[in-house]
Amino acid sequence: MFSYPLSIHLPVSFCKLKSGLDPERNENQFLLVWLWSKVQDPPEEEFSSADLTWKKFGTAEHHDDVALIPYARVDEFIIGECSNVECPTRFHIERGRKRSKGSLKEYKSDEYLEYRLYWCSFGPENYGEGGGVLPSRKYRLNTRNRAARPQSMRGCTCHFVVKRLYARPSLALIIYNERRHINKSGFVCHGPLDKDAIGPGAKKIPYISNEIQQQTMSMIYLGIPEENVLEKHIEYIQRYCGSDATVSTLASQYVRKLGMIIKRSTHELDLDDQASIRMWVERNKKSIFFYQDTSETDPFILGIQTEWQLQQMVRFGHRSLLAADSTFGIKRLKYPLCTLLVFDSRHHALPVAWIITRSIAKADVAKWTKALVDRTRSIEPGWKTNGFVIDDAAMEIDPIRDTFCCPILFALWRVRRSWLRNLVKKCSNIEVQREIFKRLGEVAYGIWGGVNISVALEELIQDFVDQTAFMDYFKSSWVPKIEMWLSTMRTLPLASQEASGAIEAYHVKLKTKLFDDSHLGALQRVDWLVHKLTTELHSAYWLDRYADESDSFQNVKEEYIASTSWHRALQIPDSAVTLDDKGHLFAKVASLKDSSITHLVWNPGSDFAFCDCAWSMQGNICKHVIKVNMICETDEGYKPSMSFQSFREILMDLWKKPMDDSIALDESVAWTRQMLDQTKQLVELNSSNDIGIVVNNMPLKWVSKKGRTFVGIPASLPALPSSSKSITKNLQKNRKRKRLSRLR
Ligand SMILES: [Zn+2]
Ligand SMILES: [Zn+2]
């Protein structure tokens, strides 16, 4: 009788993981017969379990996945499995057996000639947990690889068996016992979300993952009381270890110690700021993507990006947008700060890199942008952004365009904000403020013709000549450079109000964190700025994202969701808005909290709409303006937003291009068609609640297209068929390189 012999070959200690397997089941026999006809030989150079079709095998409680491949391709499968983006790892041979050909007189159809049990190198032992160490293995696939070092034993249970079949030595049967990289408690125990056990004490302390360390640190940095931090910390640890008095004691010691370290940590590593920064750089190499110290020939440049930020840049920046909040603190800080942002899953701006430098010279921008892109591609070879949003007309765009190879967009938030803030500060009469803002808006909208800019400016200055304070500011700060700003706005596509609002929200948060009155003396120190960014600000964003993704810390989560005007505007019902139908001069928005309060939005529909609420009076794009503009968008009587107008101009430009009836025309038609399809899909994806409907309506049937064209990158956009091919090729090249370094 045939019986499935898998459990016999497993070490005894593994049997508990596999309880429930019933070796006598008859259907197993049929399964193998079925498998014979299904030898899989994927076309990819290296492939992984995601490229194979698996047959389930076992009982309801526990089953294995099995697949049959050519024996010659086993190595390529293992390499593919190691490159799992969610849990990059190595697999070592935990146990192996061999028999010689002809040694068996009788054998079952799945009898082995060679048997190898491969185990994820983050297991099977768990040094964090103590006890339960399995007999040490005899040999490894690669003793030099880092993942196999005992420090990183996390009790990972991911493992599979490869059997070279006695009956058919050219074939290998892969039996996957546990495909997930989880520990005994069922939690993912390594990979981007769960990276390192920390510190020299990590072996003694119940396994502290990167995630829990970051969580606890974030809470301490954000000033949450120690007892609450401890409570959350223990809650988290117990998920791994169960509850026990020692665990609690150790945890409370750990939290207190961490709190103490944080309290005592100082930005001032040396009295001299420059020396202090050098020391910080020396100690934080992993968080730096570019550093150039001040010298006679070179200016100071420090590019900071933590590993978490790198992951976010890979995740949200790929086939999506990057944006810069440039020249922050140009007057108050020693060196201005430029932040690179991505738009996260809620379209909020998330800082993924900080660059501290005074230099905007082409050569310097080229240096740090290149270093950043190289770093990103070193972990994600096909990484590419679709657009880069700038907010400063003086920014050097050539190096950005050259390095990121993508279109540059322009966001209006900075110019809008400085005009509005200065108006409110320098004019006392709200009606005058509204009117001047509207006129400034007309100058901006004038970039598409119909308005003579210099005449319009002259008239504006004449009409409000009595507003000396504002006009003096405007004449000195804007008139000399307004031509440059307007021409940038005319040449570059304009970013949406949602993007502008999100970048502004980041800018405001940065300002509140950095410019609170307690640190005025430190503003001129770079080490202080670096310390602030990498501790408090980083922690705040980390916790926001964590709270949202793990659905914990409800207060943090709610506050984070509501952190942009766009999201707050979505909460206002249409019924709260009344439009002035005759003159289109204003709109009214009733307050939801207090029905006796109504906000007046002047110049509705325009990016230069003016609201009288407190948030708007501080220069911000407020939820009322955004809500009113959302309603006006569908009403033809109102001006479209500048970004929409700019989009329309681009399409009209394309349309007006003279063409002959040549192949060039065919190519243009094909490209335009492709672009329109993609835009349509993107809009549908964004507005649809049911992704299934969108996918079903797509011309491509994804079901039949098995394989991972973009390894592990969450595809926020449907991939271009043409570009995906070249990316796959690049990936293959890179894999080849990786493979060499991995196997030798
Ligand atoms: Zn693993
Ligand atoms: Zn408002």
User: How many degrees, rounded to 5, is the angle at CA 199 between CA 198 and CA 205?
Assistant: 75
CA of 612 to the centre of ligand 2 (A): 6
Shortest-distance ligand to the CA of residue 86: 1
Other beta carbons within 10 Å of 201: 13
Q: At 282, list the tokens.
A: 């020396």
Give every CB contact of residue 512 below 8 A, 6+ residues apart in sequence.
Answer: none
With vertex at residue 530, the alpha carbon angle to CA 529 and CA 535, rounded to the nearest 5 degrees, is 105
pLDDT at 696: 65
Low-confidence ranges of the chain (pLDDT < 70): 1-36, 60, 85-86, 88, 126-153, 191-211, 239-244, 517, 685-686, 688-744
Quick one: pLDDT at residue 517?
A: 64
Residues of the chain by 3-state class (helix, strand, coil), percent to 5: 50, 15, 40
Which H or E run contains 65?
strand 63-70
Distance 574 CA to ligand 2 centre (A): 15
The closest ligand to the CA of 148 turns out to be 1
Strand order in the sheet with 387-390: 288-292, 301-304, 349-357, 337-343, 321-328, 387-390, 408-410
Q: Which ligand is nearest to the CA of 604?
A: 2
Nearest ligand to residue 122 Cα: 1
> What pLDDT score was predicted for residue 711?
33
Query: What distance in angstroms lies between residue 211's CA and the mean position of ligand 1's atoms?
Result: 16
Q: How far apart are CA 316 and CA 296, in angstroms?
A: 38
Identify which ligand lies nearest to the alpha carbon of 625. Answer: 2
- Ligand located closest to 614 CA: 2
The DSSP secondary structure of 143-169, one letter per residue, reads: TT-GGGSGGG-B----EEEEEEESS-T
Exposed / middle / buried, residue 608 (Cβ in 10 Å: 0-12, 13-18, 19+): buried
CB 548 within 8 A of CB 560: yes
Residue 478 CA, ligand 2 centroid: distance in Å: 26
Ligand 1 center–CA 297 separation, angstroms:
48
Ligand 2 centroid to residue 572 C-alpha, Å: 12
From the CA of 420, which ligand is nearest?
2
Which ligand is closest to the CA of 622, given by its number? 2
Kindly list the protein residues that place their beta carbon closer than 5 angstroms to ligand 2, a single-atom ion.
599, 611, 613, 616, 622, 624
- Reported as a single tens digit per residue, the pLDDT across 305-336 is 998 899 899 999 998 999 999 989 888 889 99
Q: What's the confidence (pLDDT) of residue 250?
A: 76
Tell me, in angstroms, the distance from the centre of ligand 1 to residue 82's CA. 9
pLDDT tens digits, 625-663: 999 999 998 888 888 899 999 999 988 888 877 777 888
Distance 178 CA to ligand 1 centre (A): 10
Nearest ligand atom owner, CA of 627: 2
Ligand located closest to 118 CA:
1
Any idea which ligand is nearest the CA of 89? Answer: 1
Residues in the 5 Å CB sphere of ion ligand 1: 89, 120, 122, 156, 158, 181
DSSP β-bridge partners for residue 578: 588
**620 Cα to the center of ligand 2, angstroms:** 9
Using the mean position of ligand 1's atoms as its centre, give its distance from the Cα of residue 730 in Å: 26
Q: Which ligand is nearest to the CA of 600?
A: 2
Nearest listed ligand to the Cα of residue 84: 1
Residue 292 parent element (H or E): strand 288-292
* Cα 90 to ligand 1 centre (Å): 8
* Ligand closest in space to the Cα of 120: 1
User: What is the ipTM score, two decimals?
Assistant: 0.64
Q: How far is the CA of 468 from the centre of ligand 2 (A)?
A: 26
Ligand 2 centre to CA of 243 (Å) is 50
How many angstroms is it from 289 CA to the middle of ligand 1? Answer: 28
What pLDDT was estimated at residue 718?
36
Domain range annotation of the chain: 6-178, 200-264, 302-411+494-543, 414-491, 567-648, 663-743
Q: Point out the ligand nearest to the CA of residue 152.
A: 1
Judge contact between 42 and 51, C-beta under 8 A.
Answer: yes
CATH class belonging to 302-411+494-543 = alpha beta
| Ligand nearest to the backbone CA of 598 | 2
